[in-house]
Structure 1
Amino acid sequence: MATTGGAAGKVTPTVYVSVDVEADGPIPGPYSMVSFGAVVAGWHDADGFRRVRDAGAAGFYRELRPVSDTWVPEALAVSGLDRAALLAGGTEPGVAMGKFTRWLERVRTGPDGRRYRPVMVGYPAVYDWQFLYWYLVRFTGSSPFGHSGCLDMKTLYAARAGVPFAGIGKRSMPEELLPGLPHTHHALDDAREQAVLFANLMEWEGVSG
């Protein structure tokens, strides 16, 4: 356990949810989120941070029907998903986001039975967050994360390491921080990889000296 907090009355218990998004373009609306995956990365309260010990724990994953007629072939190719298959058999976005919201409601209850506030984490978070937030608001009317419940791992690393944000990449991080999991561009696999990286960062003591 690491990163202790202050008085319990001043700390909002938080559950960190690692989310990875695959999309067929740069922004939501004109382009589509084609898949996303999510797993719990850990819980944080006044007593500190507790990681999820099972990196293969059950998470949430859906492949989505596109919302527009435009896409960037190179962007879609990253996920390896087929547009025709998504149009024919992808989950309707409203159904997917509704089920995701209900999944979040379940994981908000921590191992201790308390309710935790969900915060999305990503690497980097800005791309994934814009799609996830847009889809939640567009198809469910609101976001369980609020309008700003998002934490970027690159920013977290820069702050903990005391290095400039520009130029940060996984190759610039100490080896002990890196997950021993593959980055496959399958959204659930990558969400699990990110969850381990996030937990490592939260438990890391930073650069010594």
Structure 2
Amino acid sequence: MAARTARPSLYISVDIEADGPIPGPYSMISFGAAVAGRQDGGSYTAADPEAHTFYRELRPISEVFVPEALAVSGLDRDRLVREGADPDAAMAEFRTWVREVSAGAQPVMCGYPASFDWTFLYWYLMRFGGESPFGHSGCLDMKTLYATKARVPLRAAVKGRMPRELLSRRPHTHHALDDAVEQAELMSNLMLWQP
């Protein structure tokens, strides 16, 4: 029996901003995505992280929020209530974008760390539209990737201890698209890194 060849993976860096710790009671108020690169077999090709991006600010889904969490993004909640994108429409647009940029490849969400961003993103994709272009597990955590390659404990996998050549020169602004682009560079640097 011939071995099945896996489809290439297209890594999409995603960063979200939220007004609380968990989806449902709290809202994802913005999210950004940037194509990081493509892996085909053992070969990884970095993409220009500014070439294919997606960004939306969302209307909150509840009245509940944590002021300290909201303050991280600097977004105005009252403005988002009035002008934020409808979550159903935004998630439909995002699904379409993911399918377009990943044509011929399996899309994989990546983040640093991915756990918080994936929790909100996957919940929103399922709650608003009932499907995820990443499936239920198409997620890669860059923190774990670094810990594995560097052979350090997960709690030691922090940007302040990483070799400088791995880090993006872009600032971490807490604007979801800026941070997704920054993380896309980190992802490519990690994938190409030979420690």
TM-score in terms of structure 1 length? 0.90
- Unpaired segments of 5 or more residues in structure 2? none
Corresponding position of 1:156: 145
Distance 1:84 1:167 in 2: 39
**Could you tell me which of 152, 156, 173 is aligned with 1:167?**
156
CA contact under 8 A between 2:14 and 2:33: conserved in structure 1?
A: yes
CA contact under 8 A between 2:35 and 2:49: conserved in structure 1?
A: no
Confirm or deny that 1:57 pairs with 2:57. Answer: no
Q: For each residue in 1:41-97, what CA deviation from the matched residue of structure 2 results, as whole angstroms up to 9, or x when unmatched?
A: 001112510000x23223000000000110000000110000100000000000000
Confirm or deny that 1:38 pairs with 2:38. Answer: no
**Could you tell me which of 112, 119, 130 is aligned with 1:123?**
112
CA contact under 8 A between 2:34 and 2:50: conserved in structure 1?
A: no
- Unpaired segments of 5 or more residues in structure 1? 1-6, 110-114
**Could you tell me which of 177, 183, 186 is aligned with 1:188?**
177
**Could you tell me which of 79, 86, 94 is aligned with 1:85?**
79
Amino acid across the alignment from 2:152: V
Distance 1:185 1:166 in 2: 22
Q: CA deviation at 1:11?
A: 2.7
Cα RMSD of the aligned pairs, angstroms, is: 1.3
Amino acid across the alignment from 1:58: H
**Could you tell me which of 97, 104, 118 is aligned with 2:98?**
104
Q: CA deviation at 1:9?
A: 4.3
Amino acid across the alignment from 1:91: A
Corresponding position of 1:177: 166
Amino acid across the alignment from 1:176: E
SS at match of 1:166: helix
Q: CA deviation at 1:176?
A: 0.8
Report % sequence identity.
61
| Structure 1 residues 203 and 8: alpha-carbon distance in aligned structure 2, compared to 1, 3 A threshold | farther
CA contact under 8 A between 1:120 and 1:149: conserved in structure 2?
A: yes
**Could you tell me which of 113, 136, 156 is aligned with 1:147?**
136
TM-score in terms of structure 2 length? 0.96
Q: Segments of 4+ in structure 1 off by > 2 A?
A: 7-12
Amino acid across the alignment from 2:154: F
Corresponding position of 1:16: 11
Deviates more, 1:77-86 or 1:162-171: 162-171
Amino acid across the alignment from 1:34: I
